């Protein structure tokens, strides 16, 4: 079923499977100014393999290539830029937490638009174990935004592992896939069904427009409203909007005919 969505969904398994060894992941700038329904890509999945969503840094790389402060700063700048660009994409980004997210993996998990968990998922900000005290890729303000200052401080200070039930209570979970057995087949089936809502008309175009509008949060209000108005003008009365309105009106006519 996931194969049927491959034309609309990019699957970034390799990022989560390995440690930092890669060039920038996303081209272009940080301005995802594209509310057009013709954008070919609807969703970007961030996911791992095996038992982990992302186990964090490869300690051999940390203790070798990345050990000099200058190299660490380059890595930090690269990953912070990558995650800003991930959030600015016109496509919806989805973290599939189907295993452990540790350290940098925990940062990745809060950097997407949506977080889909299975019962096997867990997250831990273990940066204090490495004497860092805080994340470095921009996750601090994202975690505060999701969980609040007090909870964010606790998660960062103690590095405790958060499992599904607590993660739901903290607002870290947008959707749960798979059963309590967390079997691969049930996770994949539920994930594909969830993604169809993003990738199928008429939701596909409207979801992308919503994402672009949300990207304007934090801009000057007047400029953000101008951009929002431009997106609205490209969609109102056209394409998916026209189709959806026609379908709603038709259902209304059918219901009226059925009423005595």
Q: pLDDT digits over 169-179, tens only?
A: 999 999 888 77
Higher local confidence (pLDDT), 130 or 151: 151
3-state SS, one letter per residue, for 198-230? HHCCCHHHHHHHHHHHHCCCCCCHHHHHHHHHH
Q: State yes or no: pLDDT of 8 exceeds 50.
A: no
Residue of higher predicted confidence among 28 and 189:
189
* pLDDT given for residue 102 in this prediction: 92
Per-residue pLDDT tens digits for 194-236: 777 766 666 666 777 777 777 766 666 677 667 767 776 777 7
Q: Is the pLDDT of residue 101 over 80?
A: yes
Residue 129 DSSP code:
G
Tell me the CA distances in angstroms from 224 to 53, 122, 205, 228, 229, one per residue in order. 35, 36, 20, 6, 9
d(CA 196, CA 222): 34
Instruction: List the single range of 26-40, 51-65, 188-202 with lowest mean pLDDT.
Output: 26-40
Taking the alpha carbons of 33, 37, 38, 44 in that order, is the dihedral positive or negative?
positive
Residue in 145, 113, 108 with CA at minimum distance from that of residue 124: 108
Checking if the pLDDT of 186 tops 80, the result is no
Nearest to 35 by CA among 77, 82, 91, 83: 91
* Per-residue pLDDT at 108: 92
Tell me what pLDDT residue 36 has: 40
Q: How far apart are CA 42 and CA 10, in angstroms?
A: 8
Q: Mean of the pLDDT values across residues 41-60? A: 80
Give yes or no for residue 84 having a pLDDT over 50.
yes
In the block, tokens 């060894």 appear at 21
Which has more confidence, 16 or 217? 217
Which of 42-46, 94-98, 210-214 is predicted with the least confidence, judged by mean pLDDT? Answer: 210-214
pLDDT on residue 12: 61
Residue 122 has pLDDT above 90, yes or no: yes
């Amino acid at each position: 079923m996931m194969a049927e969505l491959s034309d609309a969904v990019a699957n970034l398994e390799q990022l989560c499977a390995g440690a930092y060894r890669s060039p920038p992941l996303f081209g272009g700038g940080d301005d995802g100014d594209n509310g057009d329904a013709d954008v070919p890509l609807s969703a970007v999945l961030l996911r791992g393999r095996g038992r982990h969503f992302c186990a964090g840094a490869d300690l051999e790389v940390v203790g070798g290539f990345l050990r000099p402060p200058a190299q660490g700063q380059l890595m930090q700048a690269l990953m912070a830029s990558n995650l800003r660009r991930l959030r600015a994409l016109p496509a919806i980004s989805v973290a599939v937490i189907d295993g452990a997210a540790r350290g940098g993996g925990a940062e990745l998990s809060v950097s997407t638009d949506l977080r889909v968990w299975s019962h096997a998922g867990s997250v831990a900000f273990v940066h204090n174990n490495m004497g860092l005290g805080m994340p470095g890729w921009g996750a601090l303000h994202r975690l505060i935004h999701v969980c609040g200052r007090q909870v964010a401080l606790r998660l960062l200070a103690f590095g405790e592992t958060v499992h599904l039930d607590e993660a739901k209570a903290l607002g870290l979970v947008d959707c749960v896939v798979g059963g309590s057995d967390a079997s691969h087949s049930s996770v994949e089936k539920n994930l594909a069904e969830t993604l169809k809502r993003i990738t199928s008309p008429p939701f596909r175009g409207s979801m992308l427009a919503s994402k672009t509008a949300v990207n304007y949060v934090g801009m000057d209000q007047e400029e953000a409203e101008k951009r929002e108005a431009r997106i609205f003008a490209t969609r109102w009365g056209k394409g998916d909007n026209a189709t959806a309105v026609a379908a709603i009106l038709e259902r209304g006519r059918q219901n009226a005919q059925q009423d005595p």
